């Protein structure tokens, strides 16, 4: 089955990404961790059977390794003032592909191709809750249904529950619950779950330097 794997991403620029990791990380270190997380996510997407990877990017990719990874994907700009608006616009922008959409972010570098492939199997919609009360994955057979997210407050402990409410009327498959990376506690947990990842290596490298 072919499906569109939509990744909402922010260019890993110091001071603009993963600021909740600062302190103990510096802004530059937080950007390094964010870049590793994005690269792991793109790598998993590119090797997911049936997936057509599309990255909705905020900002301009300044790192060469990130630019090289993005060159293997379809890249579209994020549009909108709020995150909810950017989500809705991104789904609308990929509706022209005529495929079901599985949308994730760059905060779950522990995802694997097999996990993503399995999550893409749903009848009308799918939602993967995050441990912090948000969500890490949203599947929509009709991406224009993402309009329901406009009234959902994002980055809150009830965002997942509110999103599920907004999908009322659709048959929603519940996906596995994952931890996304917002804090250093999250980062350490995810690094242990994916010890061979770029993310884990970046975190370990920073710890070694600052030890």
- Angstrom CA distances, 160 to 5, 101, 131, 145, 196, stand at 20, 18, 10, 16, 29
The predicted-structure confidence for 25-48, as pLDDT tens digits, reads as follows 999 999 999 999 999 999 999 999
Query: In this model, does residue 71 exceed pLDDT 90?
Result: yes
Query: In this model, does residue 165 exceed pLDDT 90?
Result: yes
Q: Mean pLDDT throughout 122-135?
A: 97
User: Tell me, what's the pLDDT at 208?
Assistant: 59
User: Tell me, what's the pLDDT at 210?
Assistant: 47
The predicted-structure confidence for 201-210, as pLDDT tens digits, reads as follows 999 999 655 4
Q: Mean pLDDT throughout 137-162?
A: 96
Q: What is the mean pLDDT of the chain?
A: 95
Q: Are 14 and 62 in contact (CB under 8 A)?
A: no
């Amino acid at each position: 089955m072919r499906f569109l794997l939509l990744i909402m991403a922010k260019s890993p620029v110091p001071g603009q990404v993963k600021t909740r990791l600062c302190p103990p990380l510096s802004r530059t270190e937080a950007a390094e961790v964010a870049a590793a997380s994005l690269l792991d996510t793109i790598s998993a997407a590119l090797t997911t059977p049936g997936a057509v990877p599309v990255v909705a990017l905020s900002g301009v990719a300044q790192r060469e390794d990130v630019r090289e990874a993005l060159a293997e994907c379809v890249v579209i700009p994020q549009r909108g003032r709020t995150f909810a608006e950017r989500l809705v616009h991104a789904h609308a922008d990929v509706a022209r592909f005529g495929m079901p959409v599985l949308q994730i972010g760059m905060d779950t570098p522990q995802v694997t191709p097999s996990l993503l492939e399995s999550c893409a199997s749903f009848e009308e919609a799918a939602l993967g809750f995050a441990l912090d009360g948000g969500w890490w994955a949203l599947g929509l057979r009709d991406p224009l249904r993402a309009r329901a997210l406009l009234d959902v407050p994002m980055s809150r402990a009830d965002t997942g529950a509110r999103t599920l409410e907004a999908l009322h009327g659709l048959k929603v498959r519940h996906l596995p619950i994952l931890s996304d990376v917002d804090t250093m506690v999250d980062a350490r947990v995810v690094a242990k779950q994916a010890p061979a990842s770029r993310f884990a290596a970046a975190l370990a490298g920073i710890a070694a330097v600052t030890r």
